[in-house]
Amino acid sequence: MAKGEGGLLLPISMEGGKGGGGGGDDDALFKGSAMTRRGAVAALSYMACSVLLVMFNKAALSSYNFPCANVITLLQMVCSTGLLYVLRRLKIISFTNSEPSVPSDALFFVPFRILLRTTPLSLAYLLYMLASMESVRGVNVPMYTTLRRTTVVFTMTMEYFLAKQKHTPPIIGSVALIVFGAFVAGARDLSFDARGYAIVFVANITTAVYLATINRIGKSSGLNSFGLMWCNGLVCGPSVLFLTYIQGDLRRTIEFPYLYSPGFQAVLLFSCMLAFLLNYTIFWNTILNSALTQSMCGNLKDFFTVGIGWVLFGGLPFDLLNVIGQGLGFLGSGLYAYCKIKGK
């Protein structure tokens, strides 16, 4: 491990309850709780990073009218991979749970067979990313949010088929409440668009596959969160670069009038930093808790994203059904968190 796991700002252990010298981070929140303190920190960290990243991405795409979302994704990936390379080269972090039999000056820092083993995860991430980008084009925002919240159902299904994981009636009830609230929130915007609906559901499926794959491959590969992020960058980076090139996004970026604006560059910088932390916390939260918990945290943070976005950017008209639906979704996420903490 890198300079003693207990002294790192970012935990790198892949399994809650097994690592790191028996510290208090692996203790339950309280007696009978199914969630550890480290798991709770991971969940809260993910939600904070996710909300902040949405705000900075929104500022870049809306306030500055930057036309190339794929370029932002490429920059985030390049910065994340570059930072991981520097940290690993300086031996500040490790990519594995135990030091691998690979020299520190090796090209990939991880055994090539491990890189091949994580390829399904990287491909799932690439499909998840591309489908998520495309899904917002053909569906209005309220309906997009409505349909995306059904991801929890797909995640629960994927967990059952991939890991044979079953859930208790209170957990299933909380998921049903979230889905019901999502459709109530978008009830006034149910304008059917077959292609748009299909792409959003493809995005939901790829998201569920990605989260379930993290849980499956992450624990069997021997890589920690940094290692999984590193492999994702190596496999997905060239693909995203090729995509932005053939779509002409690189040329449009060079011609963007605010490209050298200090404000725009600051927004991109914070976006890249938060993307690094977000990707880390997704792995951390999914592996310490579960894919379903990660999906639930995504629903829970939507409550704060909508509220903060409403205050900062406006453009969201008041609608009673939308408010009721958002409240039901928040209640469902809270019920899931209660069941998880209580171990029900």
Instruction: Residue 156: count other Cβ atoms within 10 Å of its Cβ.
Output: 20
More confident site: 14 or 36: 36
> Quick one: which of 303, 339, 265, 270 has its CA closest to 145?
303
Instruction: Residue 260: count other Cβ atoms within 10 Å of its Cβ.
Output: 8
The rounded distance, in Å, linking the Cα atoms of 70 and 131 is: 12
Tell me the pLDDT tens digit for each residue of 304-342: 666 666 666 555 556 677 778 777 877 877 787 677 666
Tell me the pLDDT tens digit for each residue of 273-285: 998 998 888 888 8
With a cut of 80, say whether residue 161 has pLDDT above it: no
Which of 44-53, 154-163, 311-320 has the lowest average pLDDT?
Answer: 311-320
More confident site: 282 or 256: 256
Residue-averaged pLDDT of the chain: 75
What is the phi/psi pair of residue 96, to 5°? -130, 165
With a cut of 90, say whether residue 266 has pLDDT above it: yes
**Alpha-helix runs per DSSP H in 222-319:** 225-246, 249-254, 262-288, 291-313
Is 294 in contact with 218 (CB distance < 8 Å)? Answer: no
Residue 226: predicted pLDDT: 86
The rounded distance, in Å, linking the Cα atoms of 123 and 167 is: 28
* Letter string b/e over residues 73-105, b meaning 16 or more CB atoms within 10 A of that residue's CB: bbbbbebbbebbeebbeeeebbbbbeebebeee
* Letter string b/e over residues 176-203, b meaning 16 or more CB atoms within 10 A of that residue's CB: ebbbebbbbbbbebeeeeeebeebbbbb
The rounded distance, in Å, linking the Cα atoms of 54 and 57 is: 5
**pTM of this structure:** 0.68
The rounded distance, in Å, linking the Cα atoms of 112 and 101 is: 11
> Quick one: which of 33, 69, 59, 80 has its CA closest to 227?
80
**Burial degree of 233 (CB within 10 A; 0-12, 13-18, 19+):** buried
